Structure 1
Amino acid sequence: MSLLVKSSKRGQTMVALEAGRLEYVGFAAYRLSLGETLPVSAGDQELCLVLLSGRVTIEGAGFSWQNLGDRQSVFEDKSPFAAYLPPGTDAQVTALSDVQIAVCAAPGAQGFAPRLIRPEQCKRSVRGKGANTRYVCDILPDSEPAHSLLVVEVRTPSGHSSSYPPHKHDTDDLPHQSFLEETYYHQVNPPQGFVFQRVYTDDRSIDQAMAVENSDLVVVPKGYHPVSVPYGYESYYLNVMAGPKRAWHFHNDPQHSWLLDL
């Protein structure tokens, strides 16, 4: 089965992971026009709504977050607004402009309250060096309250590589490595471009190389998963990770770990 989920150019749903495709991670991204609404129901999961672009109001029982949004593109040098919704929470998103919004899902548990995540709460960092430099924004890291979800976004400049050297997190062997499924939601600037992503395991039971276009989704059930960005285009991706333990510990591909010494 292909690990590439193609996006739709029409309709409210830009791309969505098929239900049951992964055990721990769920994902969908939506486009809304001014005045449109998106109902969201957590059920027995926990959700993280990430406002990719535009302005919205998010309302539910006990909370009303008005006029959120401070960027018109994921390629602006700004962190997003996001919202954490625990199991049993219903909410409605109302678009105050043209909007793109992601709904990230994972198994939930009681004991957490709905909360707004403001841009200034997101930790920003630079990872890598040279043509491996990329810009990271932690939206829901393991240092912040949640049961399963980990959410991070990354911008990678033209001609650079990302999630590189290749690494994996598919073995429950803490503190050395954690088991986390993952999805990559991609955007490309300008939008007619593409990036390359490879997902592969040591035994090559999985080995797929994909040309990924704007708003496509890549599924990473296990294995290494590097991204390369062709000259002339910028890459953005939103990562959603979840597994049996909420910790991010990865293992570099030993064939390529020499790159860390450059």
Structure 2
Amino acid sequence: MSEPKILTRGWDPITPADAGWTFVSFAVHTLAAGQSLDLPADGQERALVPLAGTASVTAGEQQWKFGGRDSVFDGVGHCLYLPLDSAGVLTAVTDLEIAVAASPATTRYDAVLVTPDDTEIELRGGGNASRQVNSLMPPAFRADRLHVIEVWTPGGNWSSYPPHKHEHDHDGESELEETYYYRLRDPENGWALQRVYSPERGFDLAQRVGDGDLLLIPWGYHTTVAAHGQDLYYLNVLAGPAPKRTLQAFQDPSLKAAQDAWPAAGIDDRLPMISNDPR
């Protein structure tokens, strides 16, 4: 399995072969209004999340129109889940930027459109490690392997701190491949820092990330910090081999005291950053 790595803006769609793993595929497509993209029946389940603009998808006798936000900082997302072997066509109703995640699947579930009405704003962490989370496809979602989550982090805050990992399938931890797709409110000047490390492997990555970059995490503790004044969004996709849907994470035990302090610190008063009112 490959090491964790960051791909800078302009990366090509990622397949498991590209990433050096087994499950997660990820792409972001930019389509002009009226353009279409075929979605093949190829043994995978898919999740489609409009980042900006409105999409229409036809699969069999079903059709959905969804999206509508101007950017990821103008509202929480919609997500269309297409189950195993759903052939369809994606069409841009307006100019469209859309993320498409996929994973091999073995069980076919029903197609589901998740709207802002179906999700709740979650505020996690505390103090300068507070963030806003929109779980589009959480563990309770009826899908095979895919999990999809949106996260917003105010400038200057840490996100998913203390660092955690999804590396081994045992009590208290799940084995999951993971991608982070980053967007900044100020795309030209905004940036964040990403760290991924594994003491047992002697690995430590600490790198600047910018708007449109993509992180591949096959293993290792990981955490992100947004630069001061630079609000950060990332779309988080996870999938793994476990037959039970779970996002159990193992946190770096050396930093447990930091998590214990969050309740007393309270949530950053800049949160929530983004409304979940339907667009």
TM-score w.r.t. length of structure 1 = 0.92
Aligned counterparts of 1:38 and 1:206: Cα–Cα separation in 2 = 39
2:123 is the alignment partner of 1:104:
no
- Would you say the 8 A contact 1:15–1:216 is kept in 2? no
2:124 equivalent among 116, 123, 127 = 127
Distance 1:128 1:184, change over 3 A: same
2:113 is the alignment partner of 1:116:
yes
Q: 1:208 Cα shift?
A: 1.1
- One-letter amino acid of the counterpart of residue 29, structure 1: V
Distance 1:102 1:95, change over 3 A: same
Q: Where has structure 1 moved over 4 Å in runs of 4 or more? A: none
More displaced stretch, 151-160 vs 197-206? 197-206
Could you tell me which residue of structure 2 aligns to residue 139 of structure 1? 136
Distance 1:186 1:19, change over 3 A: same
Aligned counterparts of 2:99 and 2:132: Cα–Cα separation in 1 = 19
- Would you say the 8 A contact 1:46–1:109 is kept in 2? no
- One-letter amino acid of the counterpart of residue 36, structure 2: T
Distance 1:196 1:172, change over 3 A: same
Could you tell me which residue of structure 1 aligns to residue 61 of structure 2? 62
- Would you say the 8 A contact 2:4–2:217 is kept in 1? no
* Residues 30-86 of structure 1 deviation map (CA, whole Å, 9 limit, x = unaligned): 1111121122224111111111111111112121113x223111012x221111111
Which structure 2 residue ranges, 5 or more long, are not aligned?
Answer: 262-279
- Would you say the 8 A contact 1:79–1:120 is kept in 2? no
2:44 is the alignment partner of 1:45:
yes
Q: 1:15 Cα shift?
A: 4.7
Distance 1:205 1:46, change over 3 A: farther
Q: 1:154 Cα shift?
A: 0.1
Could you tell me which residue of structure 2 aligns to residue 180 of structure 1? 176
- Would you say the 8 A contact 2:4–2:215 is kept in 1? no
Tell me the percent identity.
Answer: 36
Could you tell me which residue of structure 2 aligns to residue 11 of structure 1? none
**Aligned ranges 1:247-258 → 2 under 5 Å:** 247-258=246-257
Aligned residues: 254
- Would you say the 8 A contact 1:186–1:213 is kept in 2? yes
Could you tell me which residue of structure 1 aligns to residue 185 of structure 2? 189
Aligned counterparts of 2:209 and 2:165: Cα–Cα separation in 1 = 20
Aligned counterparts of 2:4 and 2:138: Cα–Cα separation in 1 = 28
More displaced stretch, 37-46 vs 233-242? 37-46
2:203 is the alignment partner of 1:201:
no
Q: Which structure dedicates a bigger proportion of its chain to strand?
A: 1
* Secondary structure at the counterpart of residue 131 of structure 1: coil
Q: CA RMSD in A?
A: 1.5
Higher relative contact order (CA 8 A, sep 6+): 2
